[in-house]
């Protein structure tokens, strides 16, 4: 039987250790473990990689600790704009949504774009119209209200500053959640979701909903979900770059991921991390920041839930 496995992340570049209390660290790890276990259970029961990554990301979207879904940060206008994407490595089908509001689980809407529309990427009003046609319930703004996020926003409101999630001056945390999985049939999938940047303006879109930049899956190579300085991950087409190195240079998933995160993205000034899995269930989770909220589990009994290096 194929080794099946799952890896998840809750963002790279973490709260500096001084700000991370033992209680808060325990909460982060508990939510990561919950997402990991729920995704892994689907794989264990013979479910698909697509089902597993969607479920894991939903759990992280429902936690106020991560910048996605319920924990999304405030935009310049005091609203929440969310992005998400999902990709099936077996069929290369993919779906992405951007600039959506009021949707509890953006990852599920991106899956519906993949499976119930002729398109790959829907944004803004069109994406919301699509959600309404599928009878999505829209949450009140109060559902997304979080005191920590609101204070974060008030500090830089009405300025030209914006900040990546949890950033404290120079310490940046890039708020994204994601999951990659390999199921018992050797099929792989990836999903990514984010609430964007605090105080972002003009409909800014990062790498998270972009297939090939922040999210990618192909049974020929690997499934990848990224987290980092989105503008650089878009320019570096990071997720696809990892798959390319595997396909054309015969690198392993570990080698290709390390090359991109610890060399190529740094050379253009970007930072962050990614999680990746190949069709044999091998996992890579490199990052070039102080930490990355991450967890992984394989059918061979290996399990990890970590924050710092």
Compute CA distances 100 → 4, 188, 209, whole Å: 33, 27, 11
Say if residue 167's pLDDT is above 70.
no
Q: What is the mean pLDDT of residues 259-276?
A: 96
Choice among 176, 198, 221, 289 that is catalytic = 176
Burial class (CB in 10 A: 0-12, 13-18, 19+), 19: exposed
What tens digit of pLDDT does each residue of 85-121 get?
999 999 999 999 999 999 999 999 999 999 999 999 9
Say if residue 9's pLDDT is above 80.
yes
Compute CA distances 242 → 218, 245, 285, whole Å: 11, 5, 12
Residue 60 phi, psi dihedral angles, 5° rounding: -70, -35
Residue with tokens 């290369």: 92
Q: What is the mean pLDDT of residues 281-291?
A: 95
Q: What is the mean pLDDT of residues 297-305?
A: 97
Say if residue 279's pLDDT is above 90.
yes
Residue 137 phi, psi dihedral angles, 5° rounding: -80, 130
Retrieve residue 51's tokens.
């089902």
What pLDDT is attached to residue 163?
A: 57
Q: Does the annotation mark 227 as catalytic?
A: no
């Amino acid at each position: 039987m194929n080794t099946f496995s799952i890896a998840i992340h809750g963002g790279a570049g973490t709260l500096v250790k001084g700000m991370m209390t033992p209680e808060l660290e325990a909460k982060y790890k508990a939510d990561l473990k919950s997402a990991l276990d729920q995704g892994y259970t689907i794989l264990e029961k013979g479910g698909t990689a697509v089902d597993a990554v969607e479920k894991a990301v939903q759990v992280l979207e429902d936690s106020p600790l991560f910048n996605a879904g319920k924990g999304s940060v405030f935009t310049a206008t005091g609203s929440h704009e969310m992005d998400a994407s999902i990709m099936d490595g077996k069929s290369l089908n993919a779906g992405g949504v951007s600039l959506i509001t009021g949707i509890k689980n953006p990852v599920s809407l991106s899956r519906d774009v993949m499976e119930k529309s002729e398109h790959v990427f829907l944004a803004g009003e069109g994406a919301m119209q699509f959600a309404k046609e599928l009878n999505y319930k829209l949450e009140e703004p109060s559902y997304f209200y979080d005191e920590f996020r609101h204070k974060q926003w008030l500090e830089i409101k009405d300025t030209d500053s914006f900040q990546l999630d949890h950033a404290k001056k120079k310490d940046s945390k890039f708020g994204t959640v994601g999951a990659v999985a390999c199921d018992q049939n050797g099929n792989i999938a990836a999903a990514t979701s984010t609430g964007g940047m605090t105080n972002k303006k003009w409909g800014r879109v990062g790498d998270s909903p972009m297939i090939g930049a922040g999210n990618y899956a192909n049974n020929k190579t690997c499934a990848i979900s990224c987290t980092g300085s989105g503008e650089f991950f878009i320019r570096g087409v990071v997720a696809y770059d990892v798959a390319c190195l595997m396909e054309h240079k015969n690198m392993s998933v570990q080698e290709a991921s390390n090359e991109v995160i610890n060399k190529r993205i740094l050379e253009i000034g970007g930072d962050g991390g990614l999680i990746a899995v190949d069709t044999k269930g091998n996992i890579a989770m490199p990052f070039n920041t102080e930490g990355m909220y991450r967890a992984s589990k394989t059918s061979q009994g290996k399990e990890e839930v970590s924050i710092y290096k």
